[in-house]
Amino acid sequence: ARPLVLILGDQLSHDLASLKQAPADSVIAFCEVEEEGRYVPHHPHKIAMMLAAMRHHAQELRECGWQVHESRLEDPDNLQRLTGEAERLAALYQCDGVLVTRPGEWRLLDDFLARREAGSVRWEVLEDTRFFTTPAAFAGWAEGRKQLRMEYFYREQRRDTDLLMEGSEPAGGKFNHDHDNREPIPDDFHAPPPPVHAHHADATTREVLTLVAARFGEQASDEERHFGSLENFNWAVTRAQARSDLAHFLDHCLADFGRYQDAIEDSDPFLFHSRLSAALNIGLLSPQEVCSAVDTAWRRGEVPINSAEGFIRQILGWREYVRGIYWTRMPGYKRENRLEASRNLPEFFWTGDSGMRCLDQAIASTREHAYAHHIRRLMVTGNFALLCGVKPEALCDWYLAVYVDACEWVELPNTLGMVLHADGGLMGSKPYCASGKYIDRMSNHCARCQYSPKKVTGPHACPFNSLYWHFIERHREALSRNPRMSLVYGSWRRMKDDKREALLQQADAFLARLDSAADYGSDAHR
Ligand code: FAD
Ligand code: SF4
């Protein structure tokens, strides 16, 4: 029996479950299909990164002795749909079924299982073993718990993996060193620039960049062109490049990662962040090797515990936790909208011309690099959408489209749960809502902005300020009984009536302007 082993664009690891189980005479298939490139308008960086990485990986597997078929995007007989193309290839090579590892989206898993039910071709779906946990293990942990707090999940993960543990105790005496990780960037302090990959010296990557520019990027027709361009393309597309990005991070950024983790800098999109999410998500790096390298750096005394712990928590804690939430709560999770948000996405999420410096710089970094670090996603674009009541499906589509690392299993819980609090507090015990004061404290944007974070009403008032109180008032019913919100509701109650009224009017006027903007909610950007 010889299967067709279908390898998806985010499964580019040599130790993939389906590869490990494949008989030596299997046919390995990589299917580049139009359907996957367009179901949201993915940034050209993301499409190019994935296609180039797939083509390099296909070549590596060929060199390892596998028979490999690549359905290229430009092939005339390509059916341009994943399941259809895989079944066509299975018939072409006389394979007796399709073997695949769990995909990164419920939508695809559902398709695969539906094809299995249909019965004309045998589909076998294996568990993805490239994580610290599995959906079944997460479900076991979640069972019977009233609240699914990441912190408790993370502590168990630390004990299970022995990462940053000293015997049975956490290194540095506590599991979480977040308290030390909230410093803004001092003036005249610069993070080292990321290493540059010589993509134009490599024929495979060059070919992909030309193809993507023509189909989705700067040379595509207006209807086919996606947000962003290929300029600044500098993502790892091979394991060797991903390993060199990891080495750069360990040597030059990790030591300062912790204390500046939440900082935002007007002109530096990357700061001390690792930029490794895409390489991790598509399988060029494993979360185990990344965490273990950081653990080693700490044990050797090269980096402080707050940096090592802050970083490992993101991967061993948050990344595994959101994946568990995704697979145990889908498909219903995607439809959650507990705060009943109904606003369309403001057009300036695509144009970056809101006039609010923090927002426009976050969107500029997104357009230019298909990247924004976590605090920009959470506390700038995300916070703004939360305060305005942008509906989850619109915001989720945006986050899924614009970032190089976007995969639904990680994007959805972060957007719907963490940012929009649309899951009723399953992920976060309180919404991450903040006024302009927070952005002013953590960034150097406000000095360059037409608005003032210190003003709450009037033409120069920072819109985040009145929107914040509007949000608090709008959701009084749902949030005021939450003990973690009691201080905020106390301040709101104690505020003088006329000030409260002025704040609400200021926000109402802002929201009315947003709603009446000429092409608001249009699809012109795509
Ligand atoms: P670093 O700051 O260097 O962090 C190290 C690693 O930790 C990251 O590479 C990533 O693998 C992991 N990580 C950090 N935070 C999270 C988190 N909240 N959830 C899961 N993993 C995390 N991350 C994605 O990989 N794909 C997404 O589609 C995605 N969508 C997001 C949407 C929103 C609204 C928000 C608030 C966050 C999202 N994140 C997503 C999480 C996080 O913002 C990115 O992983 C991070 O910014 C990537 O940059 P980095 O590699 O430099 O991260
Ligand atoms: Fe953003 Fe307000 Fe600061 Fe302007 S003043 S940069 S809108 S937080």
State mean pLDDT over 336-350: 97
| Residue 69 burial by Cβ neighbours in a 10 Å radius (0-12, 13-18, 19+) | middle
Q: Which of 72, 103, 126 is the last residue of a domain?
A: 126
Q: Does 522 map to a domain?
A: no
Answer left, alpha or beta for residue 380, where phi above 0 means left and psi between -120 and 50 means alpha: alpha
Q: What are phi and psi of 523, to 5 degrees?
A: -105, 20
> Considering the domain boundaries, does residue 116 fall inside one?
yes
The number of the ligand 2 atom at minimal distance from the alpha carbon of 356 is 7
Do 24 and 142 sit in the same domain of this protein? no
Same domain, 153 and 19: no
- Note whether residue 380 is domain-resident: yes
Is residue 114 domain-shared with residue 259, that is, in the same domain?
no
Q: Which atom of ligand 2 is nearest to the CA of 380?
A: 1
Same domain, 106 and 144: no
74 and 44 housed in the same domain: yes
474 lines ligand 1 (CB under 6 A): no
Looking at the fold, whether 119 and 141 belong to one and the same domain comes out as no
Mean pLDDT for the chain? 96
Distance (Å) from CA 93 to ligand 1 centroid? 39
Pocket of ligand 2 contains residue 462 by CB under 6 Å: yes
Asked if 249 and 354 sit in the same domain, the reply is no
What backbone torsions phi and psi does residue 166 show, to the nearest 5 degrees?
Answer: -120, 95
Q: Is 451 in the pocket of ligand 2 (CB under 6 A)?
A: yes
| Long-range CB contacts (within 8 A, 24+) of 352-357 | 355/450, 355/451, 356/384, 356/449, 356/451, 356/462, 356/463, 356/464, 357/266, 357/445, 357/446, 357/448, 357/449, 357/450, 357/451
Other C-beta atoms within 10 Å of 292: how many? 15
Rg, the chain, Cα only = 24
Say how many Å lie between the first and final Cα of the chain, rounded. 45
Q: Which of 126, 145, 161 is the last residue of a domain?
A: 126
**What dihedral angle (degrees, nearest 10) is formed by the CA atoms of 14, 311, 46, 362?**
180
Residue 413 counted as domain residue? yes
Question: Does the pLDDT at position 520 exceed 90?
Answer: no
**For residues 350 and 366, what is the distance between their CA atoms, to the nearest angstrom?**
10
261 CA distance to ligand 2 middle (Å)? 20
- pLDDT at residue 524 greater than cutoff 60: no
The verdict on ipTM greater than 0.95 is yes
Range of the domain at 315: 135-196+239-327
Ligand 2 atom 2: residue of nearest CA: 462
Quick one: which ligand is closest to 438's CA?
2
Which CATH number do you get for residue 144?
Answer: 1.25.40.80
Ligand 2 pocket mutation pick from 348, 439, 460, 468 by most atoms within 8 angstroms of CB: 439
Residue at a domain's end among 104, 126, 148: 126
Which atom of ligand 1 is nearest the CA belonging to 374?
43
pLDDT, tens digit, 9 for 90 and up, residues 414-445: 999 999 999 999 999 999 999 999 999 999 99
Indicate which atom in ligand 1 lies nearest the CA of residue 272.
3
Note whether residue 139 is domain-resident: yes
pTM: predicted TM-score of the whole model, two decimal places: 0.97
Taking only the tens place, the pLDDT of each residue in 28-81 is 999 999 999 999 999 999 999 999 999 999 999 999 999 999 999 999 999 999
Domain shared by 478 and 389, yes or no: yes
CATH number of residue 485's parent domain? 1.10.579.10
Kindly give the number of the ligand 1 atom that is closest to the alpha carbon of 418: 36
pLDDT band at residue 518 using 50, 70 and 90 as cut-offs: low
434 and 352 inside one domain: yes
CA dist 239 and 29 (Å) reads 19
Q: What is the pLDDT of residues 113-134, one digit of tens each?
A: 999 999 889 999 999 999 999 9
165-223 pLDDT, tens digit each = 999 999 999 999 999 999 999 998 999 999 999 988 899 999 999 999 999 999 999 99
Q: Is the CB of 456 under 6 A from ligand 1?
A: no
CA of residue 316 to ligand 2 center, whole Å: 33
CB 228 within 8 A of CB 368: yes
Q: Check residue 208 and give its pLDDT.
A: 97
Cβ contacts of residue 201 below 8 Å, gap of 6+? none
Q: Ligand 1 centroid to 278 CA: how many Å? A: 9
Residue 468: inside a domain, yes or no?
A: yes
For residue 390, give the DSSP letter. B
Number of domains within the chain: 3
Q: Pick the residue whose CA is nearest to atom 40 on ligand 1.
A: 411
In a domain, 220, yes or no: no
Ligand 2 contacts CB of residue 377 (under 6 A): no
C-alpha 517/C-alpha 347 separation (Å) is: 8
Q: Is the CB of 378 within 6 Å of ligand 1?
A: yes
> Is residue 290 a part of any domain in this protein?
yes
Cα 438 to middle of ligand 2, angstroms: 10
Ligand 2 atom with least separation from CA of 445: 6
Same domain, 34 and 73: yes
On whether both 161 and 65 belong to a single domain, the answer is no
- Paired with 27 in beta bridges are 4, 67
Q: Is 416 exposed, middle or buried (0-12, 13-18, 19+ CB in 10 A)?
A: buried
Same domain (yes/no): 12, 114: yes
Q: 37: domain CATH number? A: 3.40.50.620
Q: Which of 526, 266, 296 is nearest to 398 (CA)?
A: 526
Average pLDDT on 286-313 reads 98
